[in-house]
């Protein structure tokens, strides 16, 4: 049985991740943490639409791409949003979802990833488990500009990320 949800629900979400080795060798290691909110609308018994907004995200990455030599690590503030589609794959009292979506991403002060652009896309795909008001997510997250600035300015960076959310009453 699917846990009944209100017409439109809102909640807090915290997400963080570490870059996946080998996905962007020119970038080296990077990590991020983000805090935000989400709103979700059930479209049917198994499908829902969700908007996640992360006004405060912090990325820790190399100051410049590896091809330009060693560099120190820098912190970069950013904001992101993601529109996700969710599908219930295990219909029980504690449902399991698959989710996928994309949205805008903007880094303040300098590009993320280094050598890229400040305006990017924030893509996510993963699974989520809901237990009462709590949600636990495991996701693959990718940040890149989709080649809009040319192939050389699209290094991109991919993360394995985890998130935890709590629905408001």
Mean pLDDT, each 10-residue run in order, the chain (169 residues): 50 76 57 87 91 89 64 82 93 87 92 81 93 90 77 72 84
Does the pTM surpass 0.85? The reply is no
What domains appear along the chain, each with residue ranges and CATH number? 9-167 (2.40.160.20)
| Alpha-carbon 3 to chain mean position | 25
- Residue 155: phi and psi, rounded to 5, are -70, -40
Structure confidence at residue 102 (pLDDT):
96
Give the other-Cβ count within 10 Å of 84's Cβ.
Answer: 22
Enter the tokens of residue 122: 């924030």
Supply the Cα-derived Rg of the chain in whole angstroms.
17
Q: Residue-wise over 45-62: b if at least 16 C-beta within 10 A, else e?
A: eeebebbbebeebebebb
Structure confidence at residue 5 (pLDDT):
46
Is the CB of residue 117 less than 8 Å from the CB of residue 110?
A: no
Is the CB of residue 49 less than 8 Å from the CB of residue 17?
A: no
Structure confidence at residue 138 (pLDDT):
93
Give the other-Cβ count within 10 Å of 94's Cβ.
Answer: 11
For the chain, the first-to-last Cα distance in angstroms comes to 20
d(CA 27, CA 21): 10
Structure confidence at residue 12 (pLDDT):
81
Enter the tokens of residue 12: 């807090």
């Amino acid at each position: 049985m699917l846990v009944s949800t209100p017409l439109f629900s809102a909640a807090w979400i915290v997400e963080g991740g570490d870059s996946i080795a080998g996905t962007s060798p020119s970038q080296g290691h990077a990590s991020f943490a983000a805090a935000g909110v989400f709103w979700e609308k059930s479209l049917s018994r198994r499908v829902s639409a969700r908007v996640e907004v992360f006004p405060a995200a912090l990325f820790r990455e190399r100051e410049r791409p590896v091809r330009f030599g060693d560099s120190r690590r820098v912190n970069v503030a950013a904001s992101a949003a993601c529109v996700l589609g969710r599908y219930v794959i295990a219909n029980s009292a504690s449902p399991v979802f698959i989710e996928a979506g994309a949205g805008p991403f903007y880094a303040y002060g300098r590009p993320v990833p280094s050598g890229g652009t400040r305006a990017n896309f924030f893509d996510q795909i993963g699974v989520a488990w809901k237990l009462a008001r709590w949600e636990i997510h495991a996701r693959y997250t990718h940040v890149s500009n989709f080649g809009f600035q040319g192939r050389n300015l699209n290094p991109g960076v991919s993360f394995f990320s985890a998130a935890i959310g709590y629905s408001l009453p």
